[in-house]
Amino acid sequence: MRKILLLILTIGLLFIKNSASAQSETAELIKSGIVNAELLAKAYGTPLSKAFGADLNTGWITTGKAFKPGRFEIRVFANATFVPQKDRTFDVSSIGLNSNVRIAPGSGTIAPTVFGEDSPGPLLNVYATRPDTKQEEQVASFNTPEGIGTNIAPIPMVQLTIGVVKETELMFRLLPKSKAGDLNLNLWGIGLKNNIAKWLPGLTTLPFDITAVAAFSSFRSNYGLQLRPQNGIANPNPLDYTNQKVIFNTKAITAQLVASKTISVITGYAGVSYSKSNTTTAMSGNYPVTVLREQPPYTREIQNIIDPVDIPTEYNQLGLTGGFRLKLSIFSINAEGTLAKYPTVSAGIGLGYN
């Protein structure tokens, strides 16, 4: 089991690191100014916020029947969310950029999101107006960031489930604090499951279990950026530019109502789920941006922008969930799928006394 844990942890970290590496290129967006940078970063990163929210709300249960008090199981598993095709790109010309940021002649308007193709997006030119001549001058240019080249967002999990009193389980999941290069992350969650059929009149005689589930998860990560002052440009107020980073934090809640039936060593279950997540994507630190001086001489200089981007994203979805669990003595294998706007799958193995 330790080897399997290390394998899926490596896969998850590689995905998250690739995603963070793609996001690190968003530092270039600051060249367009704060308002434009937020518009571009939101269009680029919103699918990641939705996908991770769906990931965190997946795979909480493997059966409807609650463990007896004192029984437990430790599971190692991986969740994956599939980003729909329409959210793999966005149209730069339709997100409301200011007129001083324009698509370069000969460059297209369709840019990849985080989950788009792993090639740079359209070339954008940034202009400023000289106060003395009232003429426009190009002060910067950049490509929108490339995607990671896949529409799949995986994340590994470790979960401990413990049976407590009155047909109730407590669930705890954890991805320990991890570091890969400039990427730092950690995850935790807690959930509650109850076999409500045991308490509602008329349901106790049903030949299957009916379970209510509620859970909360928190994912926190940050990744270092490297936007340095443009060479040859005066910098009257130099700052420390090594403190730049992207911050990506998600909190997610889910509620599920599931019916399940066990036959011999196999348990099948199906039900409905509600998933909600709140994500904050921010760029913190000091960022040097080239501008035109507003006082004579009207030359280019570096202007420092501090903590320029802070984008909240809220997402919710309803889904139809189904899955199974195969139990072989103290070992178990499980798989689950959820049909929703952002579909998810989950699979793993467990070890326990239940």
DSSP 186-201: EEEEEEEEEEGGGTST
pLDDT tops 80 at residue 208: yes
- Is the per-residue pLDDT at 246 higher than 60? yes
Question: Which domain CATH number covers 281?
Answer: 2.40.160.20
When pLDDT is averaged across residues 301-320 and rounded to a whole number, the result is 93
Which positions ≥6 away from 222 have C-beta within 8 Å?
Answer: 183, 184, 185, 245, 246, 247, 248
- Whether 171 maps to a domain, the answer reads yes
pLDDT > 50? residue 104 = yes
Between 83-92, 182-191, 309-318, the lowest mean confidence (pLDDT) is in 182-191
- In terms of residue numbers, what domain contains 210? 2-84+155-287+308-353
How high is the pLDDT of residue 268? Answer: 96
- Residue 6: predicted pLDDT: 35
Euclidean distance between CA atoms 235 and 289, whole angstroms = 10
Instruction: Establish if 91 belongs to a structural domain.
Output: no
Please state the rounded mean pLDDT for residues 37-42. 90
Say whether pLDDT at 200 is over 90.
no
Bond into 297 cis (ω within 30): yes
130 in a domain, yes or no?
Answer: no
Compute CA distances 188 → 48, 142, 164, 198, 338, whole Å.
Answer: 19, 37, 20, 30, 21
The answer to whether residue 27 is domain-embedded is yes
Residues 85, 19: Cα–Cα separation, whole Å: 17
Q: Is the pLDDT of residue 160 over 60?
A: yes
27, 225 contact by CB (below 8 A): yes
CA nearest neighbour of 58 among 205, 277, 248, 210: 277
Q: What percent of the chain has pLDDT over 90?
A: 61
Taking the CA atoms of residue 39, residue 44, residue 45 and residue 48 in that order, the dihedral angle to the nearest 10 degrees is 150
The pLDDT value recorded for residue 131 is 85
Residue 280, beta-bridge partner list: 249, 312
Total count of domains within the chain? 1
Residue 99 CA, distance from chain mean position? 31
The two tokens of residue 120 are 């740079």
Residue 24 pLDDT > 60: no
Longest distance between any two alpha carbons in the chain, whole Å: 86
Residue 231 lies in a domain: yes
Mean pLDDT of 246-266: 94
pLDDT digits (tens, 9 = 90+) for 51-98: 999 999 999 999 888 899 999 999 999 999 999 999 999 999 999 999
Q: What would the mean pLDDT of 314-327 be, rounded to a whole number? A: 96
The verdict on residue 97 lying in a domain is: no
**Residue 8 pLDDT more than 70?**
no
Within a domain: residue 295?
Answer: no
140 within a domain of the structure (yes/no): no
| 161 phi/psi in degrees, rounded to 5 | -115, 130
| Average pLDDT across the chain, whole number | 88
Task: Name the residue with higher pLDDT: 130 or 12.
Answer: 130
